[in-house]
Amino acid sequence: MLSYRHSFHAGNHADVLKHTVQSLIITALNEKDKPYLYLDTHAGAGRYQLSGEHAERTGEYLEGIARIWQQDDLPEELESYISCVQALNKNGKLRFYPGSPLIARHLLRPFDKLNMTELHPSDYPMLRNEFQKDDRARTERADGFQQLKSKLPPLSRRGLVLIDPPYEMKTDYQAVVQGLVEGYKRFGTGVFALWYPVVLRQQIKRITKELEASGIRRILQIELGVRPDSDRFGMTASGMIVINPPWKLEQQMNNVLPWLLKHLVPSGTGHTKVSWIVPE
Ligand code: SAM
């Protein structure tokens, strides 16, 4: 089943959280001269047209990136992320939103490598076209979870693995844990970043319990909610689970989340969280 299209959701509050964390991890990896691999298992199309039919129909970006990208008091933790958005919208109008592959492309250095997989028959060609002229990058129409076995560890022995499935199949909630365990077994020094939606809180509690029992250490959970948990249909919050986070990430997220909450959820119904599922 491949009915999910990220173009309906690009630039929403969940993307803002995910891409903030992604860009902070990349910036931290860039502090060392050594090359690394960026592995994006569920890459999407790469670029999204916000004036397009899909994004206009839901208008989700209006309550996400549109609320923050031109604020005067932007916290420094958001600078690298917002620089990627600005690079696609040079005339000051918000027309395009960069997906995780374009954020990585903008922030990685000439000697780093990108490896991205996407399965959707419409999104994959767009992703491939974006990277046709980038020597650092390889795109494949392949199963993302499989990459956690076949692409790890990278030759460089450094890297960020972003796992961002659509969760349209309930099995994704188990597959992400299995995938993390498989990936970590092969590449225990890598940074792994898993995105999750809070639709039913119980599903996320199960993920965190399974990770707690996995024996993996240094697992940080970061969350931004826009509404209280509910058992009705729809996403009320989203989060990132990061294994081996860069040492500054916890503090950086503690600094920036109150600002994001204020701007993204002015109604005051939201919440934030930064806590260890498993510490050192
Ligand atoms: N990571 C992207 C970003 O931040 O811009 C968004 C990705 S979107 C949430 C999830 C994507 O996974 C969709 O484009 C979907 O087509 C793709 N997908 C679904 N199942 C997949 C699988 N098994 N392997 C690879 N991609 C898959």
Q: What is the pLDDT of residues 135-159, one digit of tens each?
A: 999 999 999 999 999 999 999 999 9
The distance from CA 89 to its chain's CA centroid, rounded to whole angstroms, is: 20
CA angle 212, 215, 221 (to 5 degrees): 40
- Which atom of ligand 1 sits closest to the CA of residue 18? 4
Query: Residue 73 Cα, ligand 1 centroid: separation in angstroms?
Result: 33
Task: Report yes or no: 191 and 153 within 8 Å, Cβ to Cβ.
Answer: no
Ligand 1 contact via 190 beta carbon (within 6 Å):
no
Question: For tokens 């959820």, what's the residue?
Answer: 265
Ligand 1 contact via 23 beta carbon (within 6 Å):
no
pLDDT at 203: 97
pLDDT at 146: 98
pLDDT at 280: 87
Q: Which tokens belong to 119?
A: 């399965």
Best CA proximity match to 127, nearest among 51, 38, 43, 9: 43
Q: What is the pLDDT of residues 101-121, one digit of tens each?
A: 999 999 999 999 999 999 999
Integer CA distances (angstroms), 191 to 8, 116, 129, in order: 28, 16, 27
Rg (Cα) of the chain, in Å, rounded?
17
ipTM greater than 0.85: yes
**Calpha distance 147→67 (Å, rounded):** 35
For 98, the enclosing helix (H) or strand (E) is strand 96-98
Ligand 1 test: best mutation among 23, 119, 147, most atoms within 8 Å of CB?
Answer: 119
pTM, rounded to two decimals: 0.98
pLDDT at 207: 98
Query: Residue 72 Cα, ligand 1 centroid: separation in angstroms?
Result: 33
Q: What is the DSSP letter of 269?
A: -
Q: Which residues of the chain have pLDDT under 50?
A: none
Integer CA distances (angstroms), 279 to 34, 193, 245, in order: 26, 16, 11
Q: Say if strands 113-117 and 137-140 run parallel, antiparallel, or are unpaired.
A: parallel
State whether residue 257 is helix, strand or coil: helix
Task: Let me know how many helices (H) and strands (E) the chain has, helices first.
Answer: 10, 10
Complete domains list, the chain, with CATH: 6-278 (3.40.50.150)
State whether residue 124 is helix, strand or coil: helix
231 in active site: no
